Structure 1
Amino acid sequence: MDNDVLRQAPLFSSLDDEAATALRTSMTETGLRRGEVLFHEGDAGDRLYIVIEGKVKLGRSSADGRENLLAILGPGQMFGELSLFDPGPRSATVTAVTDSNFASLTHDDLLKWLDGRPMVANSLLGQLASRLRKANDVVADLVFSDVPGRVAKALIDLADRFGRTADDGVHVHHDLTQEELAQLVGASRETVNKALADFASRGWVRLEPRSVVIHDIERITRRAR
């Protein structure tokens, strides 16, 4: 991992070479194969992770075994930052959606590195505030938005982070199964499939295995509101 890769993470995007190099020397790199679990909900943890390559999913399980997907993260995105300020049980299970590589940093190493770098500490607080704002948006969507609207919003979010623009539209290789996509929007697989089929019948999208091509990004965006 070089300094440019490290700067992909929003928290570290403004680091100069000295600060980035000092940080990298404290980090540990690890990798997972598709389907492997990095840690489980309830595990003890004191590390922040940054995705270098691949995609991971953050999920939670209910007492009766139902699963909910909290987020899909890709290169440059981080998770586990709550444990740096409140070491305790992990709040989610992290599973590799594709073969993935990560860089990680312990609670103690981060605090040592932050000493004398108040701007980075402010940036970290901003990232935590952003994560809280997104959680509030998810709760609001579950209350006020219908399933097709949530599906459209999920497609826009996935397109923003993983999409590739081509002549026929935006190709979004999200790597999710139908069940995982349903968990991401908090609905049944049947209801989500019905919404996707409706979008496809209108010519807005084309469905492909573990991916979607958005032909009409404007209409999908309007449906997400």
Structure 2
Amino acid sequence: MDQDPSLDDHIEGPIAKILSDAPPDIIVNLPRKGDILYFQGDIPSYLYLVAYGSLVTVMESPSGDPVVWEMLGPFDTVGSFAMLMRFPYPATCRANIPSKVHGFSRDRIWSKLEKDLLFRETLLNELGDRFQILLSRLLFSQKSVEARISMSLLALLVKTGPSNTYQTEPPLNVTRSVLASLSLTTVESTIRITKKWESQGILEFPSPGRIRILDPRALKKISGDG
């Protein structure tokens, strides 16, 4: 893609690297938290790539309660499965913080899939990864509430990036209500548990809507992975 000033100098992610020399067909600015990229049920027209910021996909449950399904950060693709399978988006995608997204038309992507073996293999691998995430979510529901919350925080930390020069973890742009939805639990349980972890020095809350992990090893132990 053309080097948009919003993009980092170092492009990460296999799909982003392959598309780095192709200008996007559209650039969507989402300047406010909650701005919508697309709605559940819309017909896909583009493969989207996050240039900067953070997006969440939110699915309406049968009861009408929204469920946060996934959080996406810089260089993540958005809506790839629905676009390739040619069915409506299964969830609404909106900005979690001010964000910018590049869109590549469905026709261009299909043409590139036909001509570019590396791109085809890379995108199919990503779809496989997304399917693994779906299966993981099904197994995830069998974990304890504390394990689910810790696993959600660690997954968000991986997307946020490495620690800074002072070896502190970057803050996560996530509210406790979104964290509760990601963890398949209630806001009340999430507040109670994260307050306990704050008192134990595992987390801190530098500002509203932001969480910093102070002790990743403690969270890994709680999740059963440490």
Unpaired runs of 5+ in structure 1?
none
2:26 aligned with 1:28: yes
1:161-176 alignment runs, 5 A limit: 161-163=159-161, 165=163, 167=166, 169-174=168-173, 176=174
Aligned to 1:115, the other structure's residue is in SS state helix
Aligned to 2:12: 8
Aligned to 2:36: 37
Q: Distance in 2 between matches of 1:84 and 1:170?
A: 35
Percent sequence identity over aligned pairs: 20
Give the superposition deviation at 1:205: 1.5
Among candidates 181, 194, 197, match of residue 195 of structure 2:
197
Distance 1:163 1:7, change over 3 A: closer
Q: Distance in 1 between matches of 2:128 and 2:38?
A: 24
The alignment's C-alpha RMSD in Å is 2.1
Amino acid in the other structure paired with 1:2: Q
Encode CA deviations 1:96-150: one digit per residue, 9 max, x unaligned: 111111111122111112332111101111000001111111110112x111111
Distance 1:188 1:127, change over 3 A: same
Give the superposition deviation at 1:163: 5.0
Amino acid in the other structure paired with 1:190: E
Among candidates 145, 148, 169, match of residue 147 of structure 1:
145
Q: Distance in 1 between matches of 2:162 and 2:12?
A: 18
Amino acid in the other structure paired with 1:122: E
Q: Give aligned pairs, total.
A: 217
Amino acid in the other structure paired with 2:197: F
Amino acid in the other structure paired with 2:97: T
Q: Distance in 1 between matches of 2:199 and 2:168?
A: 16
CA contact (8 A) 1:162 1:173 kept: yes
Aligned to 2:198, the other structure's residue is in SS state helix
Aligned to 2:221, the other structure's residue is in SS state helix
CA contact (8 A) 2:16 2:75 kept: no
Encode CA deviations 1:9-28: one digit per residue, 9 max, x unaligned: 42243x3xxx743x32x532
Q: Distance in 1 between matches of 2:111 and 2:145?
A: 45
Moved over 6 A (4+): none
Give the superposition deviation at 1:217: 1.4
- TM-score by length of structure 1 reads 0.87
Amino acid in the other structure paired with 1:72: M
Amino acid in the other structure paired with 1:135: L
CA contact (8 A) 1:148 1:195 kept: yes
Give the superposition deviation at 1:164: 5.6
Give the superposition deviation at 1:157: 1.3
- TM-score by length of structure 2 reads 0.87
